[in-house]
Amino acid sequence: MMYYGNLLREQYYKTTQEEMHTQLSLSVERIEQYLETLKRDMLFISKLDVMNDIYSDDVDRRISTLLENKKKELTLDGDFHLVAKDGKILSSSNVEKLFQKFTDTSFMRVKVYSPIDNAPIADLVLEFSLQNITHFFENSTQRQYYMILNKTKELYKVDSFENHINVSKNLKSKQEIEIVLEQNQDIFLNLLKTYEYWFILMLIVGAVIIGFIALFFINILIRPIIELSSVVEDIIENKDYSHQVKVHSQDEIGKLSSSFNTMLIGIYNALEELKKEAKNRENLIEEKGKNEMLQELSRKLSKYLSPQVYESIFSGAQDVTLTSKRKKLTIFFSDIVNFTDTTDTMESEDLSELLNDYLNNMTLIALEYGATVDKYIGDAIMLFFGDPHSKGISEDAKACVHMALAMHDKMDDLQRKWKSKGFTKPFQVRMGIHTGYCTVGNFGSQDRLEYTIIGSSVNLASRIESSAKPDDILISEETMLLVSDTFRCTEVKTLTPKGFKRAIALYKVENNDSVDVEEFEITNKGFHLSCNLNNLSQEDKHSLKNQLSEILQKI
């Protein structure tokens, strides 16, 4: 209905515009004819013999009378003027304007030529007056109004409509003048509304009649299909596919109902299988999401724990409770010499860059040798060997010394790199190692735990590190006895730390190479001696020394 209503409106609108174009064309044609007649009259006047009076003194009398009579004959609103080349009015239908300067707007102008030499001697001018055109529009009704425009400038307008249709056309002889015909749109819109009202009413009546007829035939012919549709709607609303359609006959509708019942049974069984599969997939996705979340969480937590502690916790080998145990461990301490003074002479950005670079490289070496990183204390590093995994007390101690030497060598590389970046005072590190019994485990509260070691051996390792010189690795006698067969150790001093009753001998690890091979062989008549000192412990060396002394005494 909306479509046909719009179609009717467009057709009526188009018809109205065509009628207005026709009416406007007739009006413009009459104006054109009028202007053409007026122009011919003016040309006729310009060629009359009376124009020869321009050369005499009585030009204002005979020609003015002629112009005045012509104005009355043509019922013109504007005046005729005979204008000289200098713009002076030589003759006029209005004698009051004689010999004045012509300043008005001309509506029409023709040349007056001399009968002697055919040269232009003056202009016959008709003043511009809208009344000469507007009298054609005196028959305008309340439904229509005319307007006259001059290059979009409004010259004439009686009234206007709020809602309107307009058409326009320019005069051929005066292209700058445009005639506009405007019509009240509300009039034909109201008429259209009346037509639409009856049209819609007829459509409604027709639809009601067709509806009753359709319902009548539906009730007789396709009642089973309605029942089938009702069952389908019930299934869609309740999502219950256990419904069945009643089969009333064995015709096509009955066969359709039977097939529909078979389809419902198949759908019901398939949905049950899909529900089971969806539930299983949902459980799998939920489990996978939890696993991924736990993996991400554990990855983040691993940044705060030593790898050995992290692995033992997440593998279940170690419980996160307030527990501890006594074990013999090798403890390592290191710090940067005069770090406080260094911080006063460096910008915080440079200090952060160097400190992070240092800690990162030292930690990588520690993890490579199997150390358990306990904590960072500012510039100091505390770690230990022997828990939660141990290769044996001796091997743990050797691994710790190997690590310290590797750190020492790495510091040489780091110092060269830092100097190349313009840091004139790169870090110098000292290290201390001690092997002894400690209490190791989880310490803290029920809500926050820390896996660490405590005991006098820890304090002693810290004191040893504090006693070391820059770039030195000092170890206690207990550690030296465990690694002396692999590393060259030189006693440098003794230390009596606060809280210890006996003096502690301290040894410096010379380098990160194995001790020089001290192997010799002596062969003589009746005598052969072969010895590799690297394979002898301190007790074996002492025993060999006593045996050689006894042999020498007998010679």
- The CATH code of the domain that includes 18 is 3.30.450.20
How confident is residue 302, by pLDDT bands cut at 50, 70 and 90?
A: low
In a domain, 253, yes or no: no
Tell me which residue range forms the domain holding 72. 9-183
Give the domain-ending residue among 154, 183, 212: 183
Bridge partners (DSSP) listed for residue 147 = 157, 180
Same domain, 497 and 537: no
Same domain, 348 and 411: yes
Mean pLDDT of 102-119: 81
User: Distance of CA 516 to CAs 105, 409, 486, Å?
Assistant: 127, 19, 10
In DSSP notation, 353-396 reads HHHHHHHHHHHHHHHHTT-EEEEEETTEEEEEESSSS-S-HHHH
Cβ-in-10-Å burial (0-12, 13-18, 19+) of 82 comes to buried
Q: Which two tokens stand for residue 123?
A: 């202009």
pLDDT reported for residue 322: 54
Looking at per-residue pLDDT, the higher value among 123 and 314 belongs to 123
pLDDT at 305 over 60: no
In a domain, 395, yes or no: yes
Quick check: bond before 388 cis, omega within 30?
yes
Same domain, 30 and 179: yes
**Letter string b/e over residues 470-488, b meaning 16 or more CB atoms within 10 A of that residue's CB:** eebbbbbbbbbbbbbbbbe
Contact between residue 488 and residue 509 where contact means Cβ atoms under 8 Å apart: yes
Looking at per-residue pLDDT, the higher value among 66 and 535 belongs to 66
Q: Which two tokens stand for residue 145?
A: 């109004």
CATH of the domain at 481: 3.30.70.1230
Same domain, 470 and 543: no
**Three-state DSSP class for residue 61:** helix
How confident is residue 515, by pLDDT bands cut at 50, 70 and 90?
A: very low
Same domain, 447 and 537: no
Give the domain-ending residue among 183, 212, 233: 183
Same domain, 339 and 440: yes
In a domain, 436, yes or no: yes
In a domain, 56, yes or no: yes
Looking at per-residue pLDDT, the higher value among 520 and 121 belongs to 121
Same domain, 456 and 546: no
In a domain, 485, yes or no: yes
- Range from 475-479, 513-517, 518-522, 537-541 carrying the lowest mean pLDDT: 513-517
Quickly count: other Cβ atoms within 10 Å of residue 78's Cβ: 21
Q: Average pLDDT, whole number, for the chain?
A: 78
Residue of 57, 56, 61, 104 lying closest to 83 (CA atoms): 104
Contact between residue 146 and residue 179 where contact means Cβ atoms under 8 Å apart: yes
348-375 per-position pLDDT tens digit: 787 888 888 899 999 999 999 999 998 8
User: Distance of CA 37 to CAs 32, 48, 75, 110, Å?
Assistant: 9, 17, 13, 13
pLDDT at 398 over 90: yes
168-178 per-position pLDDT tens digit: 778 777 777 78
Mean pLDDT of 8-15: 73
Same domain, 105 and 160: yes
Same domain, 452 and 526: no
The domain tally of the chain equals 3
In a domain, 238, yes or no: no
Looking at per-residue pLDDT, the higher value among 57 and 167 belongs to 167
Give the domain-ending residue among 158, 183, 208: 183
pLDDT reported for residue 472: 92
- Range from 35-49, 251-265, 485-499 carrying the lowest mean pLDDT: 251-265
Max distance between CA atoms of the chain, in angstroms, equals 182
Same domain, 528 and 456: no
177-227 per-position pLDDT tens digit: 787 777 766 666 666 666 666 767 787 888 888 887 877 766 656 666 777
User: What is the separation, in whole angstroms, between the first and last Cα of the chain?
Assistant: 139
Mean pLDDT of 97-126: 82
Q: Which amino acid belongs to residue 31?
A: I
How confident is residue 517, by pLDDT bands cut at 50, 70 and 90?
A: very low
pLDDT reported for residue 56: 61
User: For the chain, how big is the Rg over CA atoms in Å?
Assistant: 60
Q: Which residue has the tokens 């009298």?
A: 135
Predicted TM-score of the model (pTM): 0.42
In a domain, 170, yes or no: yes
pLDDT reported for residue 364: 93
In the 8-state DSSP scheme, what is residue 87? S
User: Distance of CA 299 to CAs 44, 295, 310, 383, Å?
Assistant: 111, 6, 10, 21
Cα-based angle 486, 491, 492 (whole degrees, multiple of 5): 135
Same domain, 415 and 534: no
Same domain, 505 and 524: no
pLDDT reported for residue 514: 43
- The pairing of beta strand 489-495 with beta strand 473-476: unpaired
In a domain, 199, yes or no: no
Percentage with pLDDT > 90 across the chain: 17
Q: Angle between the 59-73 and 2-46 helix axes, to the nearest 10 degrees?
A: 150
